[in-house]
């Protein structure tokens, strides 16, 4: 470190690393991760999500898991919270998970084909 | 200049002067155990506490600087109570063997207990007990009598610069010792005895050759004869014999002596002491008069100078002589005899 | 760079380390690897979370789940359930005393709700050994601000305006100290930090050093800039090995990154510092003794004046503040003097860290705004007294503080209020006592400490505390007289008035305050030869209640000195008081509650 500008640059990067400790951000991606979810491949979904989020350097997205979301036949599935708004995506593959990141989180477009509504109908 | 009031008397002193110095200026005496103007102020014994108007606690007169407008009471009720308590506490941890204690008559604790009417301690409880250190040739150290004023330590470290003594342990167990408790003989002590001179009680005492009491002796101030510094000293004389030597604050010694001046006075009354010149006649030393001796010296010098030249003669003088005497000695050898062969002994 | 979806924070401070938190960290890492989670979840070793009672503590973010008293066996479960599946393990999360349900998040816990963490802001949040984590939490931003935008005078003015006062005990206005040192004449000046936290039970300074050491490095650099010093000393007790290690790591990191040393970040200002380890003398927390110790001398207090601001380390002007004081500095610089002055009471600004201990549910470290009442601190943050016992007194300010009784619990905590009650702020020790504590015994306990820790220099402290201790011994042994209580009071007052340093001037506080508020307990000891709390062994009596005795003989069998006589099945048992050693074995052994203590 040689200058104050460098210090500030380091701070910006470091703040990203510790963001989690101030709790969840506004955007939360919650993956169903009970035994049923794991069985259906939820772990791979999480890994794909994390990888893609990291690639796009999304600062304010928290990835967490939760218990069975209650629709085991639609696993692996996730709930995406943006403030009050919730979108549920079901029957995911790692590839689809990546698309959710690029389409929904980056471009702000719901990936309609995978929402729970489509499958429940 | 600063103006303050002590016991109602107004007094002016230089900035930086202590309350004690201000009090002395108006002739007010403040008791003390640990104070000595040669040390950095340390304020250990607390007997010199005085009341300063507006101050939260009592102040030690010996080290708190006087301030403009200060109002000081040196013998108020609070002060006297605190001093009495301190004396009581000291006595609670000090043997009451004044009847046989050799410091009796020169003991500050005795004097202050008398002044403040402390007959005995009001406390019962633990008392310290240490083995007396008699390892030094000239003095003894009895920690049982020590009141921990710290004077010996500061004398040794700040004035004598020998650092033989130090504080050991903490709390009630605190005592004066030597590094690693090896005893004085094993320490760096040079036996100057300046610690002994400043001890206000009987903890550090010279090893006495004969018994005497301080009130029995006559005091004779003189200049030390050992070397040319000119240290001032007081001979304590009992029945026309020197029994102890104490330092006096003279210009050149500021109340210090060395091991010789302080402890080596036995020769004065020694039976082998030379009082008249001796001349060797027929292989035997015989007493002579000073005239005979001088005549002999003069004739021998002339004789040798004649036969072998002045450089065959050398002179050796004593460091015990005064600087002036030694100067005259060299002058005589160089100017009168004509040689540079002059030496002296500064290693006595 | 790796992105993690979850952080597992494990306390790596002394308290939790002593109950194996380092092994917990290792095991978490192994378990994560086993489940292939090591790239998603990060384990962070942090400083102290404060609630030491519940240690070892593990907090999982982003949920903020607070796992307490975690054992090695719990680690696989937390990994599998929580970290893998996202299911909080409810039976392992912390359940607050008096509550039915465990708290799922640290944000819901009463212990943290009333707290406002300024000095401890990063403790338990960051990994103290990683500089970047400190930087992420505004680390060195205050230094940057000071070196680029503020003059030394402005820094001093800011600290003055904040109203911050010394957190080490005295409560002297910090800004004034800075001003005196900055104005003192001298070619060389020093900044020193007092990290010789000697009060038994107080560990806020240790917590900062262990949990957030860079805050000290940064604040001392700011202070050095303000007063014109280029070198600093941190005096830490050697009994704090983790603190020493982490501080040294922080100093080294700061040096490597140009945050310490020559020409800091190109500003032209230079400052470096070193750690001096103390040998653990309580008195070395006193500033002049501390300076002597740094200089390599025996730690003994010196008379003031001269004050360290004019003649400190090696007789050079020295700014000396304690760790907690320094820990507030960066926040004051960043958030402004007004922000800080807006917290607290009229004369005591900001927050204060307390080490809560004794008969209290939430033993640990807490930081509360000045002006919070003792009641709130003890019963809300501290969670109250365990086992349904009644509150009796709280001792604030370490071993030289006074004991404050229940009637003053509504007092807002600040420097002046505590002194008015006969106690003091001190470094922030807070020991709670309940109905089972004998106040005479409590006073004796604290004198036992100060007697040993007196440096031995001045007469009233060295000799006086010993005699006070002996008088208290006498009273607790039932040999005391009423005059002894008076004697204690007068002696205590002389010691306070005539001692050289703060140690002696405050050591009698526990005695004076207990006599002031609990005189009847002293009188019971001397007049009735009775200890109302049933603590003082010599005054206890164990008696068989004849009506309840079933003549079973169990008590006689348990008695180690065979002083209980009786005939099994026929005769009521009797305790020979002369032989009884008051061990209490009979009381515990009796199945019928037929033995009483009184």
The answer to whether C8 and C60 have CB atoms below 8 angstroms apart is yes
The answer to whether C424 and C418 have CB atoms below 8 angstroms apart is yes
Chain A with chain C: Cβ pairs closer than 8 A:
105
Phi, psi (degrees; rounded to nearest 5) at B50: -135, 165
Beta bridge partners of A80: A29, A87
How far is residue C356's CA from residue C366's CA, in Å, rounded to a whole number? 7
- Of A1, A8, A62, which is closest to C257 when you measure between CB atoms? A1
pLDDT at C96: 82
Beta bridge partners of C191: C232, C319
Query: What residues of chain A lie within 8 A of the CB of C330, using their CB?
Result: none
- Per-residue pLDDT band for C1 (boundaries 50, 70, 90) equals very low
- Per-residue pLDDT band for C158 (boundaries 50, 70, 90) equals very high
Three-state secondary structure readout of B164-230: CCEEECCHHHCEEECHHHCCHHHCCCCCCCHHHHHCCCCCEEECCCCCCCHHHCEEEEEECCCCCCC
pLDDT at residue B162 tops 90: yes
Alpha carbon C144 to its chain's center:
32
Could you tell me which residues of chain C have a Cβ less than 8 Å from any Cβ in chain B? 281, 283, 298, 300, 302-303, 305, 451-460, 462-467, 470, 487, 490-491, 494, 496-500, 505
**C327, C355: one domain:** no
Which CATH number characterizes residue C563's domain?
Answer: 3.30.70.20
Task: Judge C/A contact: 3 or more CB pairs < 8 A.
Answer: yes
How far is residue C497's CA from residue C423's CA, in Å, rounded to a whole number? 16
Does residue C346 fall inside a structural domain?
A: no
ipTM computed for the complex: 0.89
The answer to whether C204 and C357 have CB atoms below 8 angstroms apart is no
Ordered by where they begin, the domains of chain B are: 2-91 (3.10.20.740), 128-207 (3.30.70.20), 211-273 (2.20.25.90), 284-345 (no CATH)
- Of A20, A38, A63, which is closest to C61 when you measure between CB atoms? A20
- Of C85, C137, C258, which is closest to A65 when you measure between CB atoms? C85
State which residue of chain C sits closest to B175, comparing Cα positions. Answer: C456
Phi, psi (degrees; rounded to nearest 5) at C376: -60, -40
Region for residue A45 given its phi and psi (left: phi exceeds 0; alpha: psi -120 to 50; beta: otherwise): alpha
- Of B43, B126, B147, which is closest to C500 when you measure between CB atoms? B43
Does residue C121 fall inside a structural domain?
A: no
Put simply, the answer to whether C499 touches B46 (Cβ < 8 Å) is: yes
- Per-residue pLDDT band for B271 (boundaries 50, 70, 90) equals confident
| Cβ of residue B160 closer than 8 Å to a chain C Cβ | no
Question: Tens digit of pLDDT for each residue in C361-418?
Answer: 999 999 999 999 999 999 999 999 999 999 999 999 989 899 999 999 999 999 999 9
Q: Which distant-in-sequence residues (6+ apart) come within 8 Å of C402 by Cβ? A: C395, C396, C421, C422, C423, C424, C509, C510, C512, C513, C514, C516
| Pairing mode of beta strands C574-575, C403-405 | unpaired
Query: What residues of chain B lie within 8 A of the CB of C509, using their CB?
Result: none
Domain boundary among C83, C112, C141: C112
Does residue C516 fall inside a structural domain?
A: yes
- Overall average pLDDT of the C568-574 stretch: 89
CA distance B46 to chain C (A): 7
Domain housing C484: 439-527
- Per-residue pLDDT band for C2 (boundaries 50, 70, 90) equals low
The answer to whether B42 and B30 have CB atoms below 8 angstroms apart is no
Alpha carbon C354 to its chain's center:
6
How far is residue C173's CA from residue C164's CA, in Å, rounded to a whole number? 6
pLDDT at B170: 93
**C430, C464: one domain:** no
Put simply, the answer to whether C298 touches B167 (Cβ < 8 Å) is: yes
- Overall average pLDDT of the C347-353 stretch: 95
**Residue C485: strand, helix, or coil:** helix
Does residue C118 fall inside a structural domain?
A: no
pLDDT at C250: 97
Put simply, the answer to whether C86 touches A47 (Cβ < 8 Å) is: no
Query: What residues of chain B lie within 8 A of the CB of C503, using their CB?
Result: none
Question: Tens digit of pLDDT for each residue in B97-134?
Answer: 999 999 999 999 999 999 999 999 999 999 999 999 99
Q: Which distant-in-sequence residues (6+ apart) come within 8 Å of B310 by Cβ? A: B337, B338, B339
CA distance A96 to chain C (A): 19
Query: What residues of chain C lie within 8 A of the CB of A62, using their CB?
Result: 5, 62
Residues for chain B: how many in total? 348
CA distance C331 to chain A (A): 16
- Per-residue pLDDT band for B239 (boundaries 50, 70, 90) equals very high
**C163, C285: one domain:** yes
Chains contacting chain C through 3 or more C-beta pairs under 8 A:
A, B
Put simply, the answer to whether C135 touches A10 (Cβ < 8 Å) is: yes
How far is residue B36's CA from residue B18's CA, in Å, rounded to a whole number? 13
Task: Judge A/B contact: 3 or more CB pairs < 8 A.
Answer: no
**C218, C292: one domain:** yes
Mean residue pLDDT of chain B comes to: 94
- Name residues 88-117 of chain B within 8 A of C (Cβ): 89-90, 92-93
**C101, C245: one domain:** no
**C569, C516: one domain:** no
pLDDT at residue C135 tops 60: yes
- Per-residue pLDDT band for B261 (boundaries 50, 70, 90) equals very high
**C251, C178: one domain:** yes
Sign of CA dihedral C420, C425, C426, C429: positive
- Per-residue pLDDT band for C154 (boundaries 50, 70, 90) equals very high
Straight-line distance from the first to the last Cα atom of chain C, in angstroms, rounded to the nearest whole number: 69
Phi, psi (degrees; rounded to nearest 5) at B52: -110, 125
pLDDT at residue A59 tops 60: yes
Put simply, the answer to whether A3 touches C141 (Cβ < 8 Å) is: no
Q: Which distant-in-sequence residues (6+ apart) come within 8 Å of B327 by Cβ? A: none
CA distance C452 to chain B (A): 5
pLDDT at C192: 97
**Residue B73: strand, helix, or coil:** strand
**C142, C168: one domain:** yes
Q: In what order do the strands lie in the sheet with C272-278?
A: C272-278, C231-237, C190-195, C318-322
- Overall average pLDDT of the A80-97 stretch: 87
**C316, C361: one domain:** no
Indicate the angle between helix axes B108-115 and B77-91, nearest 10 degrees. 130
How far is residue C550's CA from residue C564's CA, in Å, rounded to a whole number? 14
Does residue C375 fall inside a structural domain?
A: yes
Put simply, the answer to whether C494 touches B86 (Cβ < 8 Å) is: yes
Question: Tens digit of pLDDT for each residue in C201-218?
Answer: 899 999 999 999 999 999
Beta bridge partners of B134: none
Alpha carbon B54 to its chain's center:
39
Say how many C-beta atoms besides its own lie within 10 A of residue C543's C-beta.
Answer: 16
Put simply, the answer to whether A1 touches C64 (Cβ < 8 Å) is: no
Alpha carbon distances (Å) from C20 to C58, C82, C92, C199: 12, 21, 17, 25
Q: How many domains does chain C have?
A: 5
CA distance A112 to chain C (A): 26
Query: What residues of chain C lie within 8 A of the CB of B174, using their CB?
Result: 454-457, 462
**For residue B30, which of B46, B16, B53 has the smallest C-alpha distance?**
B46
Domain boundary among C288, C309, C341: C341
Query: What residues of chain C lie within 8 A of the CB of A20, using their CB?
Result: 4-7, 61-62
**For residue C251, which of C228, C276, C288 has the smallest C-alpha distance?**
C276
The answer to whether C518 and B113 have CB atoms below 8 angstroms apart is no
Higher-scoring residue by pLDDT: B271, B331: B331
Cis check: omega of the bond before C306, within 30 degrees of 0: yes
pLDDT at C265: 92
- Of B46, B58, B167, which is closest to C456 when you measure between CB atoms? B167
Domain boundary among C380, C405, C434: C434
Q: Most distant CA pair in chain C: distance in Å?
A: 94
Chains contacting chain A through 3 or more C-beta pairs under 8 A:
C
- Residue whose pair of structure tokens reads 């020295």 in the numeric block: C318
| Cβ of residue C87 closer than 8 Å to a chain A Cβ | yes
Put simply, the answer to whether B173 touches C456 (Cβ < 8 Å) is: yes
Q: Which distant-in-sequence residues (6+ apart) come within 8 Å of C270 by Cβ? A: C230, C261, C262, C263, C264
**C512, C580: one domain:** no
Alpha carbon distances (Å) from C224 to B246, C179, C216, C262: 51, 12, 12, 13
The answer to whether C95 and C102 have CB atoms below 8 angstroms apart is yes
Does residue C496 fall inside a structural domain?
A: yes
State which residue of chain C sits closest to A49, comparing Cα positions. Answer: C5
Put simply, the answer to whether C6 touches A20 (Cβ < 8 Å) is: yes
- Overall average pLDDT of the B222-232 stretch: 87
Put simply, the answer to whether C498 touches B125 (Cβ < 8 Å) is: no
Q: Judging by beta carbons within 10 Å of its beta carbon (0-12, 13-18, 19+), is residue B8 exposed, middle or buried?
A: exposed
Q: Judging by beta carbons within 10 Å of its beta carbon (0-12, 13-18, 19+), is residue C357 exposed, middle or buried?
A: buried
Region for residue C449 given its phi and psi (left: phi exceeds 0; alpha: psi -120 to 50; beta: otherwise): alpha
Put simply, the answer to whether A54 touches C137 (Cβ < 8 Å) is: no
How far is residue C135's CA from residue C462's CA, in Å, rounded to a whole number? 48
Query: What residues of chain A lie within 8 A of the CB of C9, using their CB?
Result: 21
Q: Which distant-in-sequence residues (6+ apart) come within 8 Å of B333 by Cβ? A: B313, B315, B339, B340, B341, B342
State which residue of chain C sits closest to B93, comparing Cα positions. Answer: C463
Question: Tens digit of pLDDT for each residue in B333-343?
Answer: 999 999 999 99
CA distance A120 to chain C (A): 25
**C407, C267: one domain:** no
Three-state secondary structure readout of chain A: CCCHHHHHHHHHHHHHHHHHHHCCCCEEEEEECCHHHHHHCHHHHHHHHHHHHHHCCCCCEEEEEECCCCCHHHCCCEEEEECCEEEEECCCCHHHHHHHHHHHHHCCCCCHHHEHHHHHC
Which CATH number characterizes residue C139's domain?
Answer: 3.40.50.11540
How far is residue C169's CA from residue C426's CA, in Å, rounded to a whole number? 4
How far is residue C43's CA from residue C36's CA, in Å, rounded to a whole number? 14
Does residue C123 fall inside a structural domain?
A: no
Ordered by where they begin, the domains of chain A are: 25-120 (3.40.30.10)
Say how many C-beta atoms besides its own lie within 10 A of residue A100's C-beta.
Answer: 23
- Of B125, B166, B171, which is closest to C470 when you measure between CB atoms? B125
Between A80-94, B281-295, B331-345, C229-243, the lowest mean confidence (pLDDT) is in: A80-94
Could you tell me which residues of chain A have a Cβ less than 8 Å from any Cβ in chain C? 1-4, 7-8, 10-11, 13-18, 20-21, 23-25, 30-31, 33-35, 37-38, 43, 46-47, 50, 53-54, 62-67
Say how many C-beta atoms besides its own lie within 10 A of residue C35's C-beta.
Answer: 15
Beta bridge partners of C351: C369
Whether pTM exceeds 0.95: no
CA distance B72 to chain C (A): 15
Sign of CA dihedral C333, C339, C345, C346: positive
Put simply, the answer to whether A47 touches C265 (Cβ < 8 Å) is: no
H helices of C64-212, in order, are: 74-77, 110-113, 131-136, 141-149, 152-162, 174-183, 204-211
pLDDT at residue B346 tops 50: yes
- Per-residue pLDDT band for B348 (boundaries 50, 70, 90) equals very low
**Residue C347: strand, helix, or coil:** coil
pLDDT at C398: 87
Chains contacting chain B through 3 or more C-beta pairs under 8 A:
C
The DSSP code sequence of B102-160 is TTTTS-HHHHHHHHTT--S-S--S-------B--SSSEEE-GGG-----HHHHIIIIIS
- Per-residue pLDDT band for A121 (boundaries 50, 70, 90) equals low
Does residue C479 fall inside a structural domain?
A: yes
Indicate the angle between helix axes C465-476 and C482-498, nearest 10 degrees. 160
Say how many C-beta atoms besides its own lie within 10 A of residue A106's C-beta.
Answer: 14
**For residue C192, which of C56, C44, C294, C107 has the smallest C-alpha distance?**
C294
Mean residue pLDDT of chain C comes to: 93
- Residue whose pair of structure tokens reads 């009644």 in the numeric block: C390
Residues for chain C: how many in total? 598
Say how many C-beta atoms besides its own lie within 10 A of residue B98's C-beta.
Answer: 15
- Overall average pLDDT of the C266-273 stretch: 95
Three-state secondary structure readout of C505-538: HHCCHHHHHHHHHHHHHHHHHHHCCCCCCCCCHH
**C252, C103: one domain:** no
């Amino acid at each position: 470190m040689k200058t104050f500008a460098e210090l500030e640059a380091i701070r910006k990067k470091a703040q990203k690393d510790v963001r989690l400790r101030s709790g969840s951000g506004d955007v939360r991606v919650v993956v169903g991760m009970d035994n049923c979810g794991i069985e259906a491949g939820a772990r791979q979904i999480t890994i794909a999500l994390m990888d893609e989020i990291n690639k796009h350097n999304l600062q304010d997205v928290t990835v967490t898991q939760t218990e069975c979301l209650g629709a085991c036949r639609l696993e692996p599935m996730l709930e995406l919270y943006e403030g009050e708004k919730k979108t549920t995506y079901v029957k995911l593959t790692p590839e689809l998970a990546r698309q959710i990141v690029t389409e929904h989180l980056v471009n702000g477009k719901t990936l309609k084909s995978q929402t729970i509504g489509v499958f429940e109908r | 200049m600063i103006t303050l009031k002590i016991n109602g008397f107004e007094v002016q002193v230089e900035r930086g002067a202590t309350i004690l110095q201000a009090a002395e200026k108006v002739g007010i005496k403040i008791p003390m155990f640990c104070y000595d103007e040669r040390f950095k102020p340390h304020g250990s014994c607390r007997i010199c506490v005085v009341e300063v108007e507006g101050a939260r606690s009592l102040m030690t007169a010996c080290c708190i600087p006087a301030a403009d407008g200060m109002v000081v009471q040196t013998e108020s009720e609070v002060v006297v109570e605190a001093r009495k308590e301190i004396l009581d506490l000291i006595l609670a941890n000090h043997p009451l063997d004044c009847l046989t204690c050799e410091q009796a008559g020169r003991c500050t604790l005795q004097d202050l207990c008398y002044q403040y009417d402390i007959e005995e301690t009001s406390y019962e409880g633990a008392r310290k007990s240490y083995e007396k250190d008699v390892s030094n040739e000239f003095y003894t150290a009895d920690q049982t009598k020590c009141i921990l004023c710290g004077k010996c330590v500061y004398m040794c470290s700040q004035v004598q610069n020998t650092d033989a003594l130090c504080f050991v342990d903490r709390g009630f167990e605190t005592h004066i010792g030597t590094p690693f408790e090896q005893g004085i003989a094993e320490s760096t002590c040079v036996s100057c005895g300046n610690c002994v001179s400043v001890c206000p009680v009987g903890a550090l005492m010279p090893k006495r050759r004969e018994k005497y009491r301080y009130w029995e002796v006559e005091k004779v101030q003189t200049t030390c004869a050992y070397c040319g510094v000119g240290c001032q000293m007081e001979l304590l004389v009992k029945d026309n014999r020197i029994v102890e030597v104490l330092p006096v604050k003279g210009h050149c010694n500021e109340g210090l002596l060395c091991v010789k001046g302080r402890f080596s006075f036995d020769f004065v009354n020694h039976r082998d002491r030379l009082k008249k010149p001796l001349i060797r006649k027929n292989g035997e030393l015989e007493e002579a008069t000073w005239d005979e001796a001088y005549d002999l010296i003069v004739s021998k010098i002339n004789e040798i100078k004649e036969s072998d030249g002045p450089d065959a003669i050398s002179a050796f003088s004593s460091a015990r002589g005064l600087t002036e005497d030694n100067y005259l000695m060299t002058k005589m050898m160089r100017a009168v005899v004509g040689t540079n062969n002059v030496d002296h002994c500064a290693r006595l | 760079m790796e992105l993690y979806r979850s952080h597992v924070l494990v306390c790596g401070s002394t308290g939790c380390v002593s109950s194996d938190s380092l092994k917990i960290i290792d095991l978490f890492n192994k378990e994560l690897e086993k489940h292939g989670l090591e790239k998603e979840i990060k384990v962070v070793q942090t400083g102290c979370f404060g609630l030491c009672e519940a240690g070892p503590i593990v907090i999982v973010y982003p949920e903020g789940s607070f796992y307490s008293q975690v054992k090695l066996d719990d680690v696989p479960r937390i990994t599998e359930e929580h970290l893998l599946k996202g299911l909080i393990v409810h039976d392992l999360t912390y359940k607050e005393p008096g509550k039915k349900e465990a708290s799922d998040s640290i944000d819901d816990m009463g212990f943290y709700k009333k707290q406002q963490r300024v000095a401890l802001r990063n403790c338990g949040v960051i990994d103290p050994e990683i500089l970047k984590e400190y930087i992420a939490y505004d680390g060195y931003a205050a230094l940057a601000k000071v070196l680029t935008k503020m003059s030394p005078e402005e820094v001093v003015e800011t600290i003055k305006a904040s109203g911050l006062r010394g957190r080490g005990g005295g409560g002297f206005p910090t800004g004034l100290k800075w001003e005196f040192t900055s104005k003192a004449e001298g070619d060389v000046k020093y900044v020193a930090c007092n990290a010789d936290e000697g009060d038994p039970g107080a560990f806020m300074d240790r917590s900062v050093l262990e949990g957030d050491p860079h805050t000290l490095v940064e604040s001392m650099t700011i202070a050095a800039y303000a007063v014109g010093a280029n070198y600093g000393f941190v005096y830490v007790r050697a009994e704090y090995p983790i603190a020493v290690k982490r501080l040294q790591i922080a100093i080294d990191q700061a040096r490597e990154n140009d945050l310490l040393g020559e020409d800091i970040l190109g500003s032209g200002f230079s400052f470096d510092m070193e750690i001096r380890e103390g040998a653990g003398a309580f008195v070395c927390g006193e500033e002049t003794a501390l300076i002597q110790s740094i200089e390599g001398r025996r730690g003994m207090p010196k008379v003031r004046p001269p004050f360290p601001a004019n003649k400190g380390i090696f007789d050079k002007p020295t700014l000396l503040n304690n760790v907690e004081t320094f820990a507030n500095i960066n926040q004051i610089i960043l958030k402004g003097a007004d922000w800080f002055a807006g917290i607290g009471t009229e004369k005591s600004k900001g927050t204060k860290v307390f080490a809560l201990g004794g008969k209290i549910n939430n033993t640990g470290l807490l930081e509360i705004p000045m002006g919070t009442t003792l009641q709130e601190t003890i019963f809300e943050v501290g969670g109250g007294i365990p086992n349904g016992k009644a509150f009796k007194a709280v001792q604030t300010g370490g071993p030289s503080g006074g004991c404050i009784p229940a009637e003053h619990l509504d007092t807002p905590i600040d420097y002046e209020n505590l002194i008015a009650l006969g106690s003091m702020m001190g470094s922030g020790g807070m020991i709670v006592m309940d109905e089972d504590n004998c106040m005479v015994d409590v006073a004796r306990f604290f004198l036992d400490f100060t007697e040993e820790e007196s440096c031995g220099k001045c007469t009233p402290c060295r000799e006086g505390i010993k005699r006070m201790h002996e008088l208290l011994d006498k009273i607790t042994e039932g040999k005391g007289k009423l005059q002894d209580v008076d004697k204690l009071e007068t002696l205590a007052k002389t010691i306070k008035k005539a001692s050289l340093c703060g140690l002696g001037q405050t050591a009698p506080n526990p005695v004076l305050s207990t006599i002031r508020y609990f005189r009847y307990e002293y009188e019971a000891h001397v007049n009735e030869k009775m200890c109302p709390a049933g603590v003082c062994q010599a005054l206890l009596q164990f008696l068989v209640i004849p009506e309840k005795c079933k003549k079973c003989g169990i008590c006689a069998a348990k008695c180690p000195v065979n002083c209980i006589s009786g005939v099994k099945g026929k005769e009521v048992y009797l305790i020979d008081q002369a032989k009884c050693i008051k061990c209490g074995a009979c009381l515990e052994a009796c199945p019928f509650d037929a033995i009483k203590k009184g």
